Every structure is written in C-alpha cells, then in structure tokens.
C-alpha cells in the first residue's frame, strides 16, 4: 500500500486495479490523506478558494432518484429567484470578499439561454468569475453562456457506469451527459464534474473507473459527495454513502489529478462534524459557502439534515474564514482558476 501511494504521489498514475485496491482499503486512509495533502501543497498551495453559492431555483424537469428536487417530489416548496434578486446576491457576495459565484439550480426551463446569459453579463460586470451549474443544455446554449462570460461549468457525471446512471436518472441518457461534458470542454470552459458515492450497486472498481475518466478528460474541478438518502425520493431507504470511502476518493483524486480544484463539499459535514476540515486536510482546496438568503436555503432541499440552513451568508463567510485559518491555511484572494504547469 505504501509503495502504491508513494508512486501515485510521484507519477500521478495508477492502474484501475491499483486504484480499486486503495479505495477498498480502510487501513490506507490516513496515509492517502497525508500524501494527498503534500501533493495539494506542492501543486496548488495553502490557499483555499471560496466560491459563493447562489441557489436560484429549485424547480427541475428531471426526476433523479436520489435528489430531493426531483420533478415528482410534491413535498418540495418550489421557488425561483428573478434576475434582479440573483444579481443582488452576487453583488453581496462580492462585498463579502468572494471572487467567484456559482449559479446553481434545478433544470428550470424558465431560464432560457438568453435569460441566463443576460444574468451572467450583469454579474461579470461586477468583476466576478462565474460558474454555472444548471444541468444539461444544447451546445448552442453553452456557447451563448460562454460568450456572455461564464468561466466554469459544473456537471457531475455521478457515475461512469452507464447502467447505474440510467437506473437512477430515469429518462436521461448517459451518452448525452458525456456529450455535454465534451461540448463544455470544446467551448473553453473550465469543466467540473464528479461522483456520487454510495449509489446502490456501485463498487470500488466503478469508482476507480470514475477517477480514470476524470484523468482522461483532464477535469479542472472534481466534486465528490456521499449519498445522503432523502425520504421523499426512491432511494430514501438506501444506506448513506460512506464518509471514509469518500475521503479516500478525494485523496486519490488529488494524487492522480494534482492540479485540479477539489471542493470539500457540504454533504461531508452533514455526515461527520467538521467533515470539511478533514477533507481540506485530505487533498481539497475549495469550499463553496452558501450566499443564498433567508428561507430559500431551507427550500433547496437536495437531502435532509443539510448544515447551515439557518445561518446568514455573512455568518458562513466569517465561519469558514476562521476555520481555514485554524488549519494553518488562508483564504485565497484570486479567482482560483486552475493552475497549469509544473508543481511549486
């Protein structure tokens, strides 16, 4: 195990069999985390990039079996922010010191290509980097948003196992998901993707293939989160995703994609107190605090038990800043684009 980890840290290459072996080895977790933290420091430094998350609509046309925003969930209190409200939140995010905002929503058809492009243009005028996370659209739509100034796009593949994907994302096509990622790359976005850990039927080999896929597409950002079962979904009775497996996955991602931006996701802390700190010391370098205000934070109910829903955006910014400093790290002051090239 130690030799595998040392080779991964040095060459950033492992075989599917080797990755599977490490993912399936709880005894390797701490060594993986230490190696990943060292690679993180070498390639992306001690800065933690904060991205202000704006959850602007919880209306979704899709019906994913694990997501509380799924179309058929009648228990969700639906909402949609208008353009002025979204831009106002971005302006406040700028005031809190964020350099990037992440515009995230369900797949809400109200936000046509031009409507969202107009919002992106207004936010770019504030000198903010813009990340979009709004699901599957046409290449033409992605091109319009890129021309409007969008810098990054997050579209998690969830799993590279096509059969699992289509089982838990009914009515969706795995091939179309791949098409979207190819189009985003060709259009010049920084491309973010990622896996959901704990889908029934998923195993360590499937996750190893996910990592190799992220290497193959040279992903700029990879977000990993555990399944947190939502009682209002078909997977409400499933076992939660394993925190420790998720942590090993994050560490291996840092070892094998050393330049990538890797977030410590909110879901990790929903499972384990101070989970984000643990992930930040296991290879991660990004946190996405919520800058959505008021009751909308509660209504964006992807999963139950989501942390910080009662906090204000100012609380979240101050809290994360203090926690990052307590780790001996600092809040990065730049926009956090991926750094290509040699390690430091």
Tokens representing 340? 């290509």
Q: What span, in angstroms and rounded, lies between the C-alpha atoms of 142 and 187? A: 8
By CB atoms closer than 10 A (0-12, 13-18, 19+), residue 75 is exposed
Instruction: Give the rounded distance of the alpha carbon of 85 from its chain centre.
Output: 24
Cβ–Cβ under 8 Å, residues 308 and 268: no
Tokens representing 132? 């979009």
Sorted by sequence, the CB contacts under 8 Å of residue 87 that are 6+ apart come out as 119, 122, 123
177 is annotated as contributing to ligand binding: yes
133 is annotated as contributing to ligand binding: yes
60 is annotated as contributing to ligand binding: yes
339 is annotated as contributing to ligand binding: no
List of E strands, the chain: 47-57, 100-105, 129-133, 152-154, 190-197, 221-226, 286-287, 330-331
User: What is the torsion angle, in degrees rounded to the nearest 10, for the CA atoms of residue 158, residue 336, residue 272 and residue 233?
Assistant: -30
Q: What span, in angstroms and rounded, lies between the C-alpha atoms of 218 and 209? A: 14
User: What is the torsion angle, in degrees rounded to the nearest 10, for the CA atoms of residue 100, residue 148, residue 156 and residue 168?
Assistant: 130
Q: At what angle do helices 2-11 and 16-23 cross, to 10 degrees?
A: 120
190 forms beta bridges with 152
Tokens representing 104? 């995230």
Helix (H, G, I), strand (E, B) or coil at 248: helix
Neighbours of 139 (CB within 10 A): 14
316 is annotated as contributing to ligand binding: no
180 is annotated as contributing to ligand binding: no
Q: What span, in angstroms and rounded, lies between the C-alpha atoms of 323 and 343? A: 26
CA distances from 44 to 41, 55, 244 (A): 6, 28, 24
Q: What span, in angstroms and rounded, lies between the C-alpha atoms of 281 and 48? A: 11
CA distances from 182 to 149, 189, 221, 278 (A): 19, 10, 15, 32
Q: Which residues are annotated as a binding site?
A: 60, 64, 67, 133, 158, 177
Q: Which residues are annotated as a binding site for [4Fe-4S] cluster?
A: 60, 64, 67
Q: Which residues are annotated as a binding site for (3R)-3-methyl-D-ornithine?
A: 133
Q: Which residues are annotated as a binding site for S-adenosyl-L-methionine?
A: 158, 177
């Amino acid at each position: 195990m130690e030799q595998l980890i040392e080779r991964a840290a040095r060459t950033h290459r492992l075989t599917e069999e080797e990755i599977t072996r490490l993912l399936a080895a709880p005894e390797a977790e701490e060594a993986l985390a230490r190696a990943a933290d060292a690679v993180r420091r070498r390639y992306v430094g001690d800065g933690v990039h904060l991205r202000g998350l704006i959850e602007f609509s919880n209306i979704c046309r899709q019906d994913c079996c694990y997501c509380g925003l799924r179309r058929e969930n009648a228990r969700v209190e639906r909402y949609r922010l208008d353009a002025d409200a979204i831009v106002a939140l971005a302006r406040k995010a700028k005031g809190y010191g964020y350099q990037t905002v992440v515009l995230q929503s369900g797949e809400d058809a109200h936000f046509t290509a031009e409507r969202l492009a107009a919002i992106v243009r207004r936010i770019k005028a504030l000198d903010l980097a813009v990340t979009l996370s709004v699901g599957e659209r046409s290449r033409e739509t992605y091109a319009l948003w890129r021309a409007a100034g969008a810098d990054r796009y997050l579209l998690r593949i969830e799993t590279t196992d096509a059969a699992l994907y289509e089982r838990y994302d009914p009515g969706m096509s795995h091939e179309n998901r791949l098409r979207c990622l190819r189009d985003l790359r060709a259009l010049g976005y920084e491309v973010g993707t990622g896996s959901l850990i704990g889908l029934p039927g998923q195993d360590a080999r499937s996750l190893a293939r996910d990592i190799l896929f992220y290497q193959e597409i040279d992903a700029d950002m990879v977000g990993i989160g555990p399944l947190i079962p939502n009682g209002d979904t078909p997977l409400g009775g499933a076992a939660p995703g394993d925190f420790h497996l998720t942590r090993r996955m994050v560490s291996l991602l840092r070892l094998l994609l050393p330049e990538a931006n890797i977030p410590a996701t909110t879901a990790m802390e929903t499972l384990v107190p101070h989970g984000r700190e643990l992930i930040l010391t296991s290879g991660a370098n990004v946190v996405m605090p919520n800058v959505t205000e008021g009751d909308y934070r509660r209504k964006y109910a992807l999963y139950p038990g989501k942390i910080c829903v009662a906090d204000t955006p100012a609380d979240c910014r101050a809290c994360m800043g203090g926690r990052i400093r307590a780790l001996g790290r600092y809040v990065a002051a730049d926009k956090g684009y991926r750094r290509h090239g040699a390690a430091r």
